[in-house]
Structure formats: C-alpha cells, structure tokens
Amino acid sequence: MTISLDALYRDLHAHPELSFAETRTAGIVAAHLRDLGLEVTEGVGRTGVVGVLRNGDGPVIALRADMDALPVVEQTGLPYASTVRALGADGVETGVMHACGHDMHVTWLLGALERLVAERGTWSGTVVALFQPAEETIGGAKAMIDDGLLDRFPRPQIVLGQHLTHIPAGVVSLTAGPAMAGADSITVRIHGRGGHGSRPQSTIDPVVTASAIVMRLQTLVSREVQPRDLAVVTVGFLHAGTKSNIIPAEATLGLSVRSLDAGVRARLLDGIRRIVEAECQASGMTVPPEITVDDTAAATINDVAATERLRARFAERFGADDVIDFGTRTGSEDVNEFSTAAGVPLVYWFVGGLDPVAWRTAEAAGRLEEDVPTNHSPFFAPVLHPTIERGVETLVEAALENLGPATR
Amino acid sequence: MTISLDALYRDLHAHPELSFAETRTAGIVAAHLRDLGLEVTEGVGRTGVVGVLRNGDGPVIALRADMDALPVVEQTGLPYASTVRALGADGVETGVMHACGHDMHVTWLLGALERLVAERGTWSGTVVALFQPAEETIGGAKAMIDDGLLDRFPRPQIVLGQHLTHIPAGVVSLTAGPAMAGADSITVRIHGRGGHGSRPQSTIDPVVTASAIVMRLQTLVSREVQPRDLAVVTVGFLHAGTKSNIIPAEATLGLSVRSLDAGVRARLLDGIRRIVEAECQASGMTVPPEITVDDTAAATINDVAATERLRARFAERFGADDVIDFGTRTGSEDVNEFSTAAGVPLVYWFVGGLDPVAWRTAEAAGRLEEDVPTNHSPFFAPVLHPTIERGVETLVEAALENLGPATR
Amino acid sequence: MTISLDALYRDLHAHPELSFAETRTAGIVAAHLRDLGLEVTEGVGRTGVVGVLRNGDGPVIALRADMDALPVVEQTGLPYASTVRALGADGVETGVMHACGHDMHVTWLLGALERLVAERGTWSGTVVALFQPAEETIGGAKAMIDDGLLDRFPRPQIVLGQHLTHIPAGVVSLTAGPAMAGADSITVRIHGRGGHGSRPQSTIDPVVTASAIVMRLQTLVSREVQPRDLAVVTVGFLHAGTKSNIIPAEATLGLSVRSLDAGVRARLLDGIRRIVEAECQASGMTVPPEITVDDTAAATINDVAATERLRARFAERFGADDVIDFGTRTGSEDVNEFSTAAGVPLVYWFVGGLDPVAWRTAEAAGRLEEDVPTNHSPFFAPVLHPTIERGVETLVEAALENLGPATR
Amino acid sequence: MTISLDALYRDLHAHPELSFAETRTAGIVAAHLRDLGLEVTEGVGRTGVVGVLRNGDGPVIALRADMDALPVVEQTGLPYASTVRALGADGVETGVMHACGHDMHVTWLLGALERLVAERGTWSGTVVALFQPAEETIGGAKAMIDDGLLDRFPRPQIVLGQHLTHIPAGVVSLTAGPAMAGADSITVRIHGRGGHGSRPQSTIDPVVTASAIVMRLQTLVSREVQPRDLAVVTVGFLHAGTKSNIIPAEATLGLSVRSLDAGVRARLLDGIRRIVEAECQASGMTVPPEITVDDTAAATINDVAATERLRARFAERFGADDVIDFGTRTGSEDVNEFSTAAGVPLVYWFVGGLDPVAWRTAEAAGRLEEDVPTNHSPFFAPVLHPTIERGVETLVEAALENLGPATR
C-alpha cells in the first residue's frame, strides 16, 4: 500500500476543521496509521490521535504534527480550495481554511511514517507519532498531556517537529536556542452604556473607547520596549454593535502578544492592563473592563546540540544552500509543551513551501513582505512539489538521526 | 369585543420581529382589524398592513404605526422580556427587542381604532390605518408607497402619527416645524492585507486603520460644524477579524449621520469620505475603501398650523402641564415619506412612557441622561399605565380634530 | 479740532500692544480725550483710561471700548500692517496684531465722543467712556472694577458697547438675551520622564500623551453634549520639547472652552479633567497633571427690552436690511463684568467690517467659513469705509437713546 | 603643570554651550593644549579645535572629543549645575545643559593628552586631537572635514573615540561592527487655517492634525517593521499656537528616526511622508506639508579586528568584569564621518559614569529604565570618580595600542 500524498494533501486542504473539531481529519489519520500497522489510539486530548511504531530496543522518539485549521475565508482560487464554513469561537459563522499548513504537517508525518515502516530494517527503537489537535488555540498539546500521554504511551527521549512556512520549497531553516516567541492571547471586554445613535450624550460609546484603546496599544511597542527586543501587540479582532443607529453597550477586542524575554512580556501585559483601564476611565465607564489571558504559549527553545547535529545532517543530505537559519520567529507554538512535560530536548524546524520562482521575483523587487502570502493569509498557497518530498525527507532524517542503528 | 391592550402589548413585546420580517405582528394586526370590521389588506410593502375605516363623507386621514423591532439583546428583566434571536443584517445572530416602542405604537393604534369604531356616531370621513414595516431601516414607508399605497387606498388629506419616548408617562410633546433630524446610514468597508498576528510588517492592519477612522470622525462634529448646528456622526458598529492571532484583511464600520440643514449634511458626508479615504492612504492601503449610503431619511417637518391646533386641543383635554415642546429631536423617521408623497401636511408627536417617579428622581439628581434608559437601550422599559391610555387618547383626539363632524 | 479717524485707526493698527501692555494706546486715548475736554483718568486697572463727559442732569451711561491686541503674526499685507513683536504669555517671542478689531473699537469710541461733544446741545446726562485693557485675557474689566471704577466715577445706569466682526461693513447685528457664550481658559501641564530620543523605553513620552489628550478631547463635543447645545473645546496651543533627539519631560496645552448652559459647562470641565487624568495614567505617568482654570468669562446676556428699543432705532436710522440678528455667538467677552458689577442692563452688539463685495462673492460660492478671514485670523482686515462711519453712528445713536433730552 | 580634571569638568559642566556656539569651551581647550605644548589650530569647522602632538615617526592616530551641550533645563540640583539660558534652534529661549556628557569627553581627552605628553618616551608617532563642535546637531564633524581637516593636518590611520553613558562608573563597553544606529532628523511643518478659538468651523485646526500625526506615527514601529529590526520614530518637539482662544494656522513637529538597515530606514522615511501627507488630507488642508530631512547620521560601524584587539587590552588592564558588550545602541553619532572621510578604521566605545551603588539598587528592583537618568535627561549626573580616571585610562590605552613603540 502506498499513500498518494498529493491526493491526501488536497483532500485535507479542502476539508479543514477548527480546533478540537478535527474529527474527520483524525479519522483519516487513524485509518492510515492502522493501514501502516501502527498501534493507534484515538481521542487522546479530545480529538488527538497517537500512533506507536515499535521496532525493537532503542531510543523512543516523538514526531509531532498538528491538525487544526483557521477561521479564515480562503481566497486562493485553488481547485481544492476550502468552501467550509463553521461557527467561530465568537459564535459568528466564518469560513474555515488550512491557512497555516497543518494539512501539510499531517501529510508529511503520514508520508514519513510510511517510509520508516518500509525501511524498518535500517533502524531500531520506537516512534511515537503525535497528531495533535488545537495548536491554533494553544490548547491541544496540553490536552493530550493532561489525557495521560506520557503515561499511556512510550515516553520519548526527544521531541521532533516541523512547520511549513513561506520560504522557497526545498529550503529548510533551523535555529538553535530561541526559535519561536512566546504568545499570550488576551480578550478584552469593555462596558459602556448603549442607546440611540442620535443621542450620544445619553450613552458611553464603547466604539470610541475601543478605538482609542487600539491607537494607544501601538505605543507599547513603539515607546515602551527596547527597540531591538522582540515585542508584538496585535489586535486581531474588534467587534462592537449590530446596527448603525444603535450605540452598543459593549465592545470586545482580541489581542495577541509576542515576546521572548520574561521582563518584556511582563511590561507588555502590564501595559495592556494599564491602557485598557485608563481608556475606560477616560470615557467615564463605571463598570470595569474584563481582561482575560485566554492562553499562554511559552517560547519554543530548541536544544542547541541536537539542533546543530540535525543541521549538519540536513546540510549533508540536501546541500548547504538549502539549509538556512532565519533566526527567531515571532510566531508561537505549543510543541514545547511536549518536551517540557517530558523534560527532554526539542528540535523544531521550518520547511519551505513557496514557489521558488515567485519568491525570487518578489525578493528581486524588494517586495517579499508585500507580495508573498504568509501563514494565516487567505492567499496562503504552498506548491505541492518539492514541498511534500522535502518535508517527508526532513522528518525521516531527523528520526533516523535520533533512533538507534539496525539491530542485527 | 374589547381588546385587552395590556395583553396585546405584552405579547408583541415578547415576540419582536426585525424589519420586513414582521409576519407574526402583521397577522395579529390584520386579525384585530377584521374583528373591528375594517377593510384589511395585507402584504402592502412586503409585510405592511392597511386598514380602511369608512364612515360617510368627510376628510380622509391617515394614522400610522410602525411595527418592527431592533437587533438588541433585551436586558430589562421584565417577565415579558424578549428571548427572540435572529440573524441580523450582517449575518450575525443577535437578540431581537422592541427597544424603540413600536410594540406600543401598534397597541395604541389598534386601541384608537377600536374607540373610533365604537364612537363612529360622533365623526364622519375615512380613516386609513397604516401599519408600516421596517421603519428602523428606513425602507418601510417607501415600500408601501412603491406598492401603490396612494392609488389603491383612499388618499389622505393629512398624516398623523406618534412615537413613544423617554419622558414621563402621561406627557406629550409637540414641535411645530422641524421635529426630527434627517438621517443617513452609511457602510464603510476598508481593505488591508491580512496575515499572521505575529508578523504585522507583512500586513496592512485594518483594525488600526478602522480605529484611526473612528477617532478622526469625532472631529467632524467637534471642529467642522457650527457649534449650534444639529450634527451627529455615530459609528454604531465596527467589525474586524475572527481570531486574536490573525490580522484580518478587512474591517466594516456602520455610521449613522444626523443633520437638519442641507449644508451641514453635505459637509458631514463629504468629511466622512475625505477622512476614510485619507486614513486608508495613511495606512498604505492600495484598494480603495467602499463607502455606501445605505439609506437616507429626510428631516421630519411638522405642519405649523396643524400642529398648533393639535397642541391647543391636547392642552385643553390633558391639561397644559402635560403638553410640552422639547424641540427638535436628533432621531429620525420615515413617516414624512407618506406626507411628502401625498403632498399633504404631517403632524408627528411624542408620547411619554417612563415611570414618572423614576424620572423625577433622575432629574433631581441631574442624571437624566445617565439613568433613564432611552430608545434603543437594552434597558428601555416603558410602564404600561398611563402610557397605553394616553397614547390611545392622543391618537383619537388627533383623528377627531381632523375628521368631519357627525353627519346627522 | 477734528480727529482724522482713518489716520488714527491705521496708527493703532500698526502699533498693537498685548493685554495690560497698552501704554502707547492709552496715551493716545488720553490725549484725545483731553483735547475733547473730558475729565481723564489714566491707570485705572493698570493700563485702562476713563473719560467723563458731563452735560447737566440726566442719565449716566457707560460706553466701552477695549484696547488690547493678540499674539498673532499679521499676514494681511496691508501697508499699515503690524511688524511688532513681543514676548507672549508663555515667554516665547511672537508677532502682535490687532486681529480682533480693538483698534477699531477705540477709533469708534473716540469718534462717537467727538460727535457727542459737538452735539451736546441735543442731549443731557453723563457719558462715562471706558477704555478697557486686557479683554483678550479676560482680566481687564475686572481690573478696572477692582480699582474702584464704580466708586471713583459716576455710576452708569446702562452699559453699551459694540464689537467689530466679519459681516459686511454697514451691517449691524443685535441679539436680545444670550448674545455671547461663556468662556473658560484652561492650562494643562503634564509630566512625563525625559530622555534620549533613541531610547523611548527609558522615558514617558509627553508628546504622545499630549496628542492622545487632544484626540480624546474631541469626544466631549462629539459624544457627551446634546447635539444642539453650544459647546466648544479648542486646544489653542500645545508646546513640548526643544530638539528632535530629546524626549522632553513635559508638555503644556492651552484650552478654550465655550458654553452657555451651566450644566454643559460643568460637563465639559469635568470631562477635561477626567480625560487628562486618565490619559496620563494610560501613559504610566506618576506625577499628576496640573489643570488650571486661568480665567472665566460669564456669558454675555443682553437686556431684552433695551436691546429691542435699540434695534428699532437702528432699523429706523439705517434701514431694516442693515439690522440683523445672527443669534448667539460662541465668542466671549468680559463687558458683562461692568453691567453685572453695577447691577444694570447691558446692550452689546456687532458691527460689520468686511468688504461687502468680497462677502457676497464668498456667500454665493458657499464658502463664507473658508474664505472670509474671521476675528483672530492673521488675515483679518476690515475695510475702513463705511466701517468707521457706521460704528460711530451706532454708538452715538445708542448713547442718545439712553441719555436724556436737551434740557432747555 | 597638572590639570585638575575635577575642576575642569565642573567648570565645563556649569558653562555649557549649544552646537556651534562652543567658543568659551574651545578657548579653554586651546589654552590647555598650548600649555601641553601641542600645535593648536582654532576655528576648524567654525568652533572646532585641532591639537597635534608629534613624537617622531610612527602611526598617526586621531583621538576625538565633542564639545557641545543641549537645550535642556538642568534639574540635577548639583552645586555646579548649569543655569545658562540661550535661544534654541526654534528661536525659543531655553536652558542649556551638558546632558550628554560632552563636558566629560573634553575632560578625558585633555587628561589623556597630558598623560601621553608626560609619557612620550614610551611611544612614537603622531596624535591628532579633534575637539569637535556640534555633534548634537550632526554637523560638526562634517564642518571640520569641509574646512580641510584631512589636508591641513596629519591624516590619521585610525579614529578613536569614546562616549560617557549610563552604566556603572569603571565599566567599559565595546561592540564590534554596528555599534550605533543611523539617525535622521526631520522637521514637519503643517499648514491649516487659523481663526478664533470659538469658531472651529471656519478653521482647519493644525493642533488636531499634529496630534493625529503623532498617534499614527507610532504604527510605523508597531506595525510596519520586523519586530526585531532596530527602528525608532520619536517626535521630540511639537509646537503650535500662542494663546488658548486662537486656533493657530500652523504646527511644527521635530522627528528623530533611528535605524541600522537601509531598507528599514527607507520604510520609515517613506512611512513618515505617507502618514503626514494623508493626515493633512484627512483634515482638508490644501497647502501641502513641508517635510525636511535636516541632517542624517550614518550608522557607527566599528572595525572588527581593531575593536577586538582593544577589548583584549582593556580586559587585561581593567579586568574582564569591567569590559562588557551591551550591543548596538539606538543612539547616533557623527564620529564615523572622520573615519569614512579618511577611509580608515574606527573604534568607538562607551565608558560608564553612574554611581555603581545606585545602579545596582535600580537593577535589583528591575527599574533600570525608570530610575537611572540616561543621556539627554535633565537629571543626568555622572559621578566624578572613577569616571574621570577610567575615561583617561581607556583613551591612553587605546592610543598606545595604535601608536608605535618607543623609538630608541
């Protein structure tokens, strides 16, 4: 049996599922794992799937892929573009899209497991394949751990994983040490006083207050942190009101905060609280705002020695030109939850998926930021080749680097 | 047969329907009109109802009540509070509430018609009762007219109507000449570039642009119009984004603009366009914003002579203390569409619904604006008595003032 | 002796003096008054001048003109334009200009006194001519009163005065009752933490805080007062910093607030305090802001009966077309200090100074607000004729209306 | 002859002079240089001084100190605090203060030259001492070069210099490669329409526009550059208006921009132009804004090999604990003009001046940014010891490292 990875990827892409709703995806994963002969457990951390591939004594390694999609209306125009709609976290119906490449992550890991099964004569040990739900809401890794992951399955000695990103297909980037920022998701709800749109004087207008908050939050990064420190404060959503002639009573803002340094993080979080509270006071609001940290992802810190070993192996296999180090990313991950909980090293790297020609054109024009659709963009559209092949190879090589030799 | 107006009002209040969806309400109205013996036509202007009460030769008058409710989540805590939910104009599910008193308007007009039927020996002429849909979206009056209202039914010589408002129950306010402002509803859609919440540099953040627009729009009223001119620019809704870690590609704002003077209106509308376009340029947006005037309500101008005649009659009937003139309202109406289309005078007045004790307490504390729930507030909760009685009386008196004498 | 009013006006215009520094002007006034034979007292309220013209028994009236100029760099290009410079209240050198027409006020009053002296056979009573300093800083009238004005000189039975404004020359406007708004001048000083322009993180940037305050203050008028209530909040000056690469420690803002109603005034003043304090907190400032009400002018309320009598007389003398009522002005005055202190009626009116052709051209183009230089504009440039003649006539007629008849 | 460096420093501190006005300082420098027996030339680049110390064949090195002070009102409370006042670049009188330590730079260099003269038996070559004017306005180095510096005096083979900063006294920081950011100083002048403070509708209020510009400029750093790229946009001054009741016609803003990367610099400068122009359009201004880049300082790039040699020597002499590398500074310098013009290496380092106890207290409290007065702060107050000694030693050691050996 050979999986057609192209068909698998296109199918997953066309059927994205939001966090903790990955039931169709999990079913496909579990079926494939059973076909490959692995021990399969579904429902680990609600919708997660664990596959165990035992191959004699030797090291235990974890290979991780995340499965969930995003509330984004796909605009790629691809023949296999998603037309799926679902209710988002805020109860509003939205499009759903694999705008962050988790469909590719699943494809890669299934492809790599197929290779490892086929080549089981060349290595020894145990591979634990983690198909994680809900990475986008930073809850899935923790859910699997809380569901007994480390007790119910072989405990890994290293955690390995990879992410699709907007560098040319075929290129791989590894960063030793701090590889990705920490993230906090924060919901802010402010309470004004609603009323008729023609009588603002009898209301406290939360739309104005929310707008003042957004403008003021910009100053946290522009004025309050060291100019070279990693710091991002994004207001990803802002919702207030239902009708132009009604001043609503409330507004809700969703913030995403990125940082590496604990001091910077504290400064940003304190600053958000300070600004939101003061702006509510400036508006004369008497009900205090609600500021909730919904979830927190730690920074992703790669083991330096294990990363450098892998860098050397990748360079030897793929050529030095295709192995780069683009430095710390401002994006965030919960893959570190597995390594931290197990107390073992992590290596997490990036694999390119962009059409190399389009990338070079944009680079030559100095328009990489403007013209290349990045992760989370409604236009994010990786090319299938050599993206699929390279991602399978990297995972297989990383596994072999950390498994034992053939035992006979 | 006597209608229980209390029960009718409570039932209507508990079952609000959004604009052009007033099918249950229209059914109740039509049934009552038939019970009263009027000629009844349903479906005039989609969900409107017309009842004709003929009583010999004499003047033809129109009495108008509007029927629709608002996308507001009721928070009154009343036993008959609405728990209805529906999809709003933006496709988002919302609560529905009679937060503007149209339930009372329907109750009053049915009560008044019952009285006019009962007392038909005392007057002559024809009463055309207009139960209008979709006043809140400023489309219902026009829909009825476009559906042949003035040709299919007796053409009125005067249009009469009234609105429930947040003055003490029992009190009536009439204003000759400009009684209510004109209104424009405007939708603004701006187009940035979406992307990952941690990589703002590859996006054009529409949340920031929308917030800058809101802050800048304040200056139209604070800096660009004569301080005594009537001018309101409200941003009633602002929606952008679905998830805190995704920078969305678009934001949508809903504006309500109020003015009396054509020059002021032009200045505000031009200013909105100027500000929105410039703020999009300040953000480097390359796709121009879409600015749509969704609907426009003319100012409501009462006929001076007819208003003063009615003021005198009300003062004689109810006592001078209960007949006030609170001046031009910033709210808007489409009742003037009927009088303008027919080329006849209009008198439109306000009837109080607030608990007089609560009102006096708030007034004594100088907190009328803060403490009294106004029209469109989720806490808007008129007392039933004497609100119902007074509104029936005003309508009956206004009708009799403009109908002919008993013909015998 | 006949004064050349043209030459006098041009000379005063070319030599403007700031509030309480009107020594040259006062000297010219005093010399003219002595030439006319009045009793002259200089130094009343620092730089004020009082002239008394006694003409037998009869009513005592006060005619008032203010003398001070403004810290504005004249840009009229007139041959007699001011090139005077002086230190402003903030210690900064600035140009000085008669941008509010007080040079014309002095010219008018001297011209009117010359007429009253020449025609003393036609009237009886006493004229007290008040040449007031420091109207622009709302301190001069009070200074004269505090200096014993009402005890040292005949106590008037009515106070009369007039202001040059941007309506066509020859036209006069009277408004009975509320004629001009009340005004409060407020200085706000905020305290951040200064530092190097390249290290914002070690500072609290008062330039950003001041800007946020300015944007937020707009919402007082746009959201917090009844749309038809008179309310203005202007930030007339904002000063912070000395050099682009130093973040300063402080910023200073100068506000001018206009209102008629005491409740509106309280709401605006409370709102300013609320917003300034909250914005300083939003910036993390630990030193509280200083908010000082520097001076307060009451609203200017004309006596209704006296105003209507004067309107009738003006209409008879000048023709009804040249006597208008443009309603309550948002500008402010301290002329009411005299009438209030004396407990007597006030009539204060406006006299036009604009080239009628230019005015009609701008009006026809709908560009009166944009194209006509108003009081306080660096381009404010009244035409001399018939402005001078009309202003002398109005003052003489107003005096004669309120003085006694010829006694013989 | 031995200079008392303490007395010299206190005297210079008490008598600061603004850029290109350093005549007293230059006189003191020239007198000391003559006392030491150097060839002295004054007036090089207006107020600069060059001293040449020849000591046989060998390398030619340049040692550079800058002499100018800042328009800052000193608030240190020191017995030798400055009370000097002068007119700033904007024509406004201001305090003057050595808030950036150039008084210490002069003291150090004179002290080092005294040592090099005294120890001339231990080295060979030529020392060119550059006492530069106008570093704060980034014009002095260029002025000296334009005045023939490299032709009229021995041409150096390396340029050496040092800056006092807010790290503990005794500590030295060297950074190889990019040591300080590039800087652009930009003046923005916007043109509204002035008028009376009570009539905003006839004006275009530049105070509001300037404030909107300041708020919007924050988004360049918060949204438009990569979060780890060095980028600062500071509005160091903002001036508009003279009186609270006059709306001014203009506002002026002074910006300081910092960057290392040419692409980031272009993005910031383009962004400033885009935002300023769009905000003026949002206000309806018809006269375009003036945006002037007043001066540009290139990034300060240290020669890697020469820096590392010096680091080793410093570590050996002072102990490794006192030699740190705090990385690229966001501050800017024009010292690189000398090395670039001469085409030779540069080494530029930082020497601490803070009371070590105060520093450790602040560090322990996590309040280094808040509690330690940095360069340009009105509270900047270095301790004299061991600051003076260490700065003299570093300069002597750096000179000896780059001069030749004793020739005999």
Task: Please give, rounded to a whole number of angstroms, the shortest distance from the CA of C235 to a CA of chain A.
Answer: 17
Mean pLDDT of D82-107: 89
Tell me whether B374 touches chain A (CB under 8 Å).
yes
Spatial neighbors of A51 by CB under 8 A, at least 6 apart, are A29, A30, A33, A36, A38, A39, A40, A41, A113, A128, A129, A131
CB contact under 8 A, A230 and D227: yes
Spatial neighbors of C138 by CB under 8 A, at least 6 apart, are C183, C185, C295, C296, C297, C332, C334
> What pLDDT is recorded for position A89?
66
Task: Classify each residue of A195-232 as buried b or exposed e, where b means 16 or more C-beta atoms within 10 Å of its C-beta.
Answer: bbbbbbbbbbbbbbbbbbbbbbbbbbbbbbbbbbbbbb
Kindly report the CA angle at D113 between D111 and D118, in degrees rounded to 5?
Answer: 100
Residue of A nearest to B210 (CA): A211
Reported as type and span, the H/E element at residue D125 is strand D123-132
CATH number of D5-180+299-405: 3.40.630.10
C68 is an active site residue: yes
Prediction ipTM score: 0.85
Q: Count how many pairs of residues, chain B against chain C, have C-beta atoms within 8 Å.
A: 44
* Pairwise CA distance, residues B209 & B198, whole Å: 18
Task: Please give, rounded to a whole number of angstroms, the shortest distance from the CA of D248 to a CA of chain B.
Answer: 13
List the structure tokens of D360. 């450790």
Tell me: the pLDDT tens digits for D294-318? Answer: 989 999 999 999 999 999 999 999 9
- Report the SS3 class of residue D141: helix
CB contact under 8 A, A232 and D227: yes
Q: Is it true that B5-180+299-405 and B182-297 share their CATH fold?
A: no
Residue of D nearest to B196 (CA): D223
Tell me: the pLDDT tens digits for B337-387? Answer: 999 999 999 999 999 999 988 888 888 887 877 778 888 889 999 999 999
* Pairwise CA distance, residues B327 & B175, whole Å: 6
pLDDT of B2 above 60: no
Tell me: the pLDDT tens digits for A53-73? Answer: 999 999 999 999 999 999 999
pLDDT of A371 above 80: no
Tokens 């109080």, residue?
A: B352
Chains contacting A with at least 3 CB pairs below 8 Å?
B, C, D
Query: What are the backbone angles phi and psi of residue A331, rounded to the nearest 5°?
Result: -65, 170
pLDDT band with cut points at 50, 70 and 90 for residue B279 = very high
Contacts of B284 in chain D (CB under 8 A): 271, 274
Q: How does strand A195-196 pair with strand D231-240?
A: unpaired
Q: Out of D215, D240, D329, name the one closest to residue C215 (CB).
A: D215
Tell me: the pLDDT tens digits for C375-400? Answer: 888 999 999 999 999 999 999 999 99
Q: What residues of B act catalytically? A: 68, 135
Contacts of A222 in chain D (CB under 8 A): 218-222, 233
Q: Which residues pair with C329 in a beta bridge?
A: C180
Contacts of D282 in chain B (CB under 8 A): 216, 274-275, 278-279, 282
Q: Is D405 exposed, middle or buried (0-12, 13-18, 19+ CB in 10 A)?
A: exposed
Tell me: the pLDDT tens digits for B111-152? Answer: 999 999 999 999 999 999 999 999 998 889 999 999 999 999
Task: Classify each residue of A13-49 as buried b or exposed e, where b means 16 or more C-beta atoms within 10 Å of its C-beta.
Answer: bbbbbbbbbbeebbebbbebbeebebebbbebbbbbb
Q: What is the CA radius of gyration of chain B?
A: 23
Mapping DSSP onto H, E and C, the string for C305-356 reads HHHHHHHHHHHHHHCHHHEECCCCECCCCCCHHHHHHHCCCEEEEEEEEECH
Tell me whether B62 touches chain D (CB under 8 Å).
no
Q: Out of A99, A201, A215, name the one closest to residue B369 (CB).
A: A201
Tell me: the pLDDT tens digits for B316-338? Answer: 999 999 999 998 998 899 999 99
CATH topology of domain D182-297: Alpha-Beta Plaits (3.30.70)
CB contact under 8 A, B227 and C231: yes
* Pairwise CA distance, residues B145 & B147, whole Å: 5
Mapping DSSP onto H, E and C, the string for D189-255 reads EEECECEECCCHHHCECHHHHHHHHHHHHHHHHHHCCCCCCCEEEEEEEEEECCCCCEECCEEEEEE
CB contact under 8 A, B247 and A236: yes
Tell me whether C328 touches chain B (CB under 8 Å).
yes
Contacts of C224 in chain A (CB under 8 A): 200-201
* Pairwise CA distance, residues C285 & C273, whole Å: 15
Tell me whether C98 touches chain D (CB under 8 Å).
no
Q: Count how many pairs of residues, chain A against chain D, have C-beta atoms within 8 Å.
A: 44
Task: Please give, rounded to a whole number of angstroms, the shortest distance from the CA of B123 to a CA of chain C.
Answer: 41
Q: Please check whether residue D294 is in contact with residue D186, taking contact to mean a CB–CB distance below 8 angstroms.
A: yes
pLDDT of D170 above 80: yes
Contacts of A279 in chain C (CB under 8 A): 278, 282
pLDDT of A2 above 60: no
Query: What are the backbone angles phi and psi of residue A242, rounded to the nearest 5°?
Result: -130, -20
* Pairwise CA distance, residues D76 & D378, whole Å: 7
* Range list of β-strands (E), B133-198: 158-168, 172-173, 177-180, 182-191, 195-196
Question: What value does the mean pLDDT of chain B take?
Answer: 94
Task: Please give, rounded to a whole number of angstroms, the shortest distance from the CA of A218 to a CA of chain D.
Answer: 6
Half-sphere exposure of A254 (CA within 13 A, CB side): 21
pLDDT of D2 above 80: no
Query: What are the backbone angles phi and psi of residue D357, rounded to the nearest 5°?
Result: -70, -45
* Pairwise CA distance, residues A345 & A302, whole Å: 7
Contacts of C330 in chain D (CB under 8 A): 198-199
Q: Out of C90, C194, C201, name the one closest to residue D369 (CB).
A: C201
> What pLDDT is recorded for position A1?
41
- From first to last of its 408 residues, chain C has per-residue pLDDT tens of 456 999 999 999 999 999 999 999 999 999 999 999 999 999 999 999 999 999 999 999 999 999 999 999 999 999 999 999 998 766 678 899 999 999 999 999 999 999 999 999 999 999 999 999 999 988 899 999 999 999 999 999 999 999 999 999 999 999 999 999 999 999 999 999 999 999 999 999 999 999 999 999 999 999 999 998 999 999 999 999 999 999 999 999 999 999 999 899 999 999 999 999 999 999 999 999 999 999 899 999 999 999 999 999 999 999 999 999 998 998 899 999 999 999 999 999 999 999 988 888 888 887 777 778 888 889 999 999 999 999 999 999 999 999 999 876
A74, A103, A114, A135: the catalytic one is A135
Query: What are the backbone angles phi and psi of residue B250, rounded to the nearest 5°?
Result: -140, 160
Percent residues over pLDDT 70 in chain A: 98
pLDDT of A123 above 50: yes
* Range list of β-strands (E), A96-138: 123-132
pLDDT band with cut points at 50, 70 and 90 for residue A94 = confident
Q: Please check whether residue B26 is in contact with residue B42, taking contact to mean a CB–CB distance below 8 angstroms.
A: yes
> What pLDDT is recorded for position D365?
84
> What pLDDT is recorded for position A359?
87
**B331 to B13, B136, B231, B370: CA distances (angstroms):** 22, 11, 11, 18
**How do the domains of chain D map onto residue ranges?**
5-180+299-405, 182-297
pLDDT of B169 above 90: yes
Tell me: the pLDDT tens digits for D242-265? Answer: 899 999 999 999 999 999 998 999
Q: How many CB atoms lie within 10 A of CB B160?
A: 27
A70: DSSP letter: B
CB contact under 8 A, B227 and C233: no
Contacts of B258 in chain C (CB under 8 A): 227
Tell me whether D258 touches chain A (CB under 8 Å).
yes
pLDDT band with cut points at 50, 70 and 90 for residue B1 = very low
Cis peptide before A386 (omega within 30 of 0): yes
Rounded to two decimals, what is the model's pTM? 0.87
Is C196 assigned to a binding site? Answer: no
Contacts of D210 in chain C (CB under 8 A): 211, 238
Q: Please check whether residue A163 is in contact with residue A175, taking contact to mean a CB–CB distance below 8 angstroms.
A: no
Question: What value does the mean pLDDT of chain D take?
Answer: 94
Tell me: the pLDDT tens digits for A188-218? Answer: 999 999 999 999 999 999 999 999 999 999 9
Query: What are the backbone angles phi and psi of residue C82, rounded to the nearest 5°?
Result: -80, 140
Tell me whether C390 touches chain B (CB under 8 Å).
no
Tell me: the pLDDT tens digits for B70-110? Answer: 999 999 999 999 999 998 766 678 899 999 999 999 999 99
Question: What value does the mean pLDDT of chain A take?
Answer: 94
* Pairwise CA distance, residues A191 & C226, whole Å: 22
Q: Out of A205, A208, A216, name the one closest to residue C282 (CB).
A: A216
Task: Please give, rounded to a whole number of angstroms, the shortest distance from the CA of A201 to a CA of chain D.
Answer: 21
Tell me whether D292 touches chain A (CB under 8 Å).
no
Is A239 assigned to a binding site? Answer: no
Tell me whether D41 touches chain C (CB under 8 Å).
no
List the structure tokens of A69. 């999609």
Reported as type and span, the H/E element at residue D54 is strand D48-55
Contacts of D371 in chain C (CB under 8 A): none
Is B280 assigned to a binding site? Answer: no
User: Of B268, B70, B310, nearest to B181 (Cα)?
Assistant: B268
Residue of A nearest to D326 (CA): A228
**B279 to B284, D117, D173, D269, D281: CA distances (angstroms):** 9, 63, 44, 18, 9
pLDDT of A90 above 70: no
Q: Please check whether residue B331 is in contact with residue B257, taking contact to mean a CB–CB distance below 8 angstroms.
A: no
Tell me whether A117 touches chain B (CB under 8 Å).
no
Q: Out of C92, C211, C376, name the one closest to residue D246 (CB).
A: C376
Q: What is the CA radius of gyration of chain C?
A: 23
Tell me whether A284 touches chain C (CB under 8 Å).
yes
* Pairwise CA distance, residues B211 & D223, whole Å: 14
> What pLDDT is recorded for position B3?
65
Is A280 assigned to a binding site? Answer: no
**A349 to A162, A331, C367: CA distances (angstroms):** 5, 13, 64
